[in-house]
Amino acid sequence: MSEIMDPPRCASEAIPIDRPQEADAQEPILRLEGVRKEFAKRSLSDRLRRQPGVRTLALDDVSLSVAPQEALALVGESGSGKTTLAHSLVRLVEPDAGRIELLGRDVLKASGSELVALRRRMQLIYQDPYTSLNPALSIGRAIIEPALVHRLIDRSETQSRLGELMGYVGLSASLAERRPRALSGGQRQRVAIARALAAEPEILIADEAVSALDVSVQGQVIRLFATLRRELGLTLIFVSHQLATVAQLCERVAIMYRGRLVEIGPTREVFSAPRHGYTATLIAAHPGGRRLRDRAGGTSAPPPPPSMDQPGCPFRHRCAYATDICSTHTPSMLSVGPGHAASCHVLPHADDLAAAAGARRHRAQTRADGHEG
Amino acid sequence: MSVEPDIATRPSADARREGEDGRPPVLSVDGLRVEFPSEQGLVRAATNVRFEVGHGRTLGIVGESGCGKSVTLRALCGLVPEPGRMVAGTVCVEGRPHRTAKALETLRGRKLSMIFQDPASSLNPVRSIGSQVSEVLRVSLDRPHAAARSEAIELLDHVGIPHPAQRMSAYPHELSGGMRQRVMIAMAIASRPQVLLADEPTTALDVTTQEQILQLLARLQEESGMAIILVTHDLGVIEEVCDEVVVMYAGYVVERGSVEEITRSPMHPYTQGLIAAMPQLDAAHEPLLMHGQPPDLSTLEPGCPFMPRCPKARSGCAQIDMQTLTTTACACPFATERLLTAAGGASSPDS
């Protein structure tokens, strides 16, 4: 592994690291080590022909840790494994290998009441508030249910706790008797958040929780997340494909591609000077600022991804920076700065990135000035 | 940045009846009104909508959910969903006026084609994409069977689907979201339409796929000179691909102009709010919060519909006549005055 990590023009410290943020001395609330999940799809014709079917590596050796009260974003395209990772934290998906620790306790080994207790502390919020709420339950009932199930409150406290929870998320108590269909998308997402808070979690896992909302409502819900984090001391794991939302809410970002963590670091640094070809591609594709017609780039679809058993960087076929080494050696995580690491053979050593990113920031700035002028 | 203080001089707002090449617009809408009866009362989904788009130009329609942008687009090709009805309006396509949904329906698949947000639910899941693309060619363009098949392969190739001949027998579920949208685009351009109506065509896609699809549309437009009307809630997309923009709110067009005017010097407080609320990649940029929600269209009060959410609302706002203002560059009569008095007051921070 290490013999491929010392190209001569290496400018950064070429030391392999597993958990770049561990320097922060703070004990992580959540720690993942080598989490792996493989999905096998075997169609009827595969089974009739006794063929093995298609294997997909949804999570490939994912290691990271989350500090208490931080907001970490998981970013990637569909199929990158970000949702699988979020779901495996609460074992909606059972990883094949690896270790997930919540405050030192092994989530993957827990069972029975211990698992219920661990799950209570990590609450998931889903993308679509139209399908994640039971249409037959009044929203008051939906919100308070987790508190009753986990016996966090006495039946007599139901009303006062409900009022408190609805207050947290900015919902008027008069809505408690309504059904979800009477609410707007933004209000429903607030209900989903209140319901998650009812379980008194330490960690909120928001899976594309604002993607389905209008930009104005998105802004409101994002502010709500920020406020809750501050006031209730929550840790936030924010799964999203919207880079701009991530920039607004999360101080740290983990970029995933085809089940692998390819870059992790402070959001500001990762977005202004990406150190992985995939991150750079995502940032370049972010809409806004440039006229599409002025931009170079083909319109054909990306080539098919390499099969999971081939060596080399999984992104090399789409990467603008790919060199020979990228198809022969699989890169491993390299530290490129404090708390910032990327698994790339090329970009950690490039110098011109900051300039390119600076130009982009300048454009964004010009635009912002224009709006206010 | 300096802003032209006089609304009437916004050059692009009213000058699109004749395109830059001197040709009349390929599509123009005037006085479009779409209504939905409901238990709560009549929902006016689109009121007095007017805009034009020239040959080879891209018009963006932007607004929040429920602002009437999708219903306006659907009305253009006679696809207003039941029980809604297009109750008034004229849609001119290549100078020929059409006044009813029925008349517009005959243009669909010929002069006008439409693509939708979700290609997964617009394609038939139990038929191969080849048979669906060839069907368009056989039914709409009367191509014989064999010719339709070879033309379908060409179309799939043209929209960037690799190995089109092999893909003809693939079913929609075997394709990725971006590939399915390419198939929808292939079907839409089969008849060489004058205008492509695109309803949130990239909203369900990843950013990288979105970029590819937008680039594909730009290339097809350049080759064929078709006009595109793009409905989206994403101002970033608008900024990348559109020439002109109309901003809709509560069924009204509240502002119109070139993409530069709308994104750099918006005049209507709603447009200003939308732009200020847009998050940016730069973490130091703090988007401003837009309070409240769009109004219930069945109980809309007279006057400006944005007034309850407007940071600059004043007493006169309840009296303004939206019907006439929505055909101007900006439906806020106080925008001119404000621009004259405070050049830097486009967006005041609110908590």
Q: Which of A244, A300, A302 sits opposite B281 (nearest CB)?
A: A244
Q: Which of B179, B210, B287 sits opposite A287 (nearest CB)?
A: B210
pLDDT band with cut points at 50, 70 and 90 for residue A16: very low
Partners of B160 on chain A (C-beta within 8 Å) are: 299-301
Q: Is the ipTM of this complex over 0.85?
A: no
B205-215 pLDDT tens trace: 888 888 889 99
State phi, psi for B27 to the nearest 5 degrees. -140, 135
Average pLDDT over residues B139-166: 91
Q: Best interface-test mutation with A: which of B260, B280, B296, B350 has the largest number of A CBs within 10 A?
A: B280
The 8-class DSSP code of residue A3 comes to G
Tell if the CB–CB gap between B161 and A368 is shorter than 8 Å: no
Question: Is the C-alpha dihedral spanning B133, B134, B136, B141 positive or negative?
Answer: positive
Q: pLDDT value at position B327? A: 80
Partners of B279 on chain A (C-beta within 8 Å) are: 215, 218-219, 222, 242, 244-245, 247-248
Strands A203-207 and B27-38: unpaired
On average, the pLDDT of chain B sits at 86
**B185: contact with A, CB 8 A cutoff:** no
B31-90 pLDDT tens trace: 999 999 988 889 999 999 999 999 999 999 999 888 999 999 999 999 998 899 999 999
**Other C-beta atoms lying within 10 Å of the C-beta of residue A150:** 15
Residue with tokens 């179309």: B155
Four-CA torsion A178, A181, A185, A188, nearest 10 degrees: 40
Average pLDDT over residues B182-200: 94
A122-149 pLDDT tens trace: 999 988 777 888 999 999 999 999 999 9
Q: pLDDT value at position B350? A: 40
Supply angle C-alpha B176, A245, B217, rounded to 5.
40
**B236: contact with A, CB 8 A cutoff:** yes
Question: Does residue B5 sit in helix, strand or coil?
Answer: coil
Average pLDDT over residues A65-93: 92
Q: pLDDT value at position B268? A: 94
Beta strands in chain A (DSSP E): 30-41, 54-66, 71-75, 97-102, 105-106, 122-125, 203-207, 235-240, 252-257, 260-266, 334-337, 340-342
Residues ≥6 apart with Cβ < 8 Å to B199: B70, B73, B74, B114, B115, B116, B117, B231
Partners of B310 on chain A (C-beta within 8 Å) are: none
Q: pLDDT value at position B195? A: 96
Q: Which of B3, B210, B281 sits opposite A364 (nearest CB)?
A: B281
Q: pLDDT value at position B36? A: 92
Tell if the CB–CB gap between A244 and B207 is shorter than 8 Å: no
Q: pLDDT value at position A41? A: 79
**Cis (ω within 30 of 0) for the bond into B83?**
yes
Lowest mean pLDDT among B112-126, B135-149, B283-297: B283-297
Average pLDDT over residues A46-65: 86
- Tokens coding B121: 């639910």
- Tokens coding A11: 């400018």
pLDDT band with cut points at 50, 70 and 90 for residue A319: confident
**B311: contact with A, CB 8 A cutoff:** no
Q: pLDDT value at position A216? A: 83
Question: Is residue B72 within 8 Å of residue B61, measured between CB atoms?
Answer: yes
Which 210-269 residues of chain A touch chain B by CB within 8 A?
Answer: 214-220, 222-223, 241-245, 247-248, 267-268
The 8-class DSSP code of residue A369 comes to H
A282-304 pLDDT tens trace: 888 887 655 665 554 444 455 55
| Identity of the amino acid at A39 | F
Q: pLDDT value at position A355? A: 47
pLDDT of B130 over the 90 cut = yes
Tell if the CB–CB gap between A370 and B263 is shorter than 8 Å: yes
Partners of B2 on chain A (C-beta within 8 Å) are: 373
Tell if the CB–CB gap between A215 and B233 is shorter than 8 Å: yes
pLDDT of A252 over the 60 cut = yes
Partners of B280 on chain A (C-beta within 8 Å) are: 244, 247, 288, 364, 368
Q: Which of B215, B278, B293 sits opposite A184 (nearest CB)?
A: B293
Q: pLDDT value at position A290? A: 58
Q: Best interface-test mutation with A: which of B173, B207, B247, B310 has the largest number of A CBs within 10 A?
A: B207
Partners of A292 on chain B (C-beta within 8 Å) are: 211, 214-215, 218, 240-241
Q: How far is B343 from chain A (nearest CA, A)?
A: 6
Report the share of chain B in percent with pLDDT over 70: 89
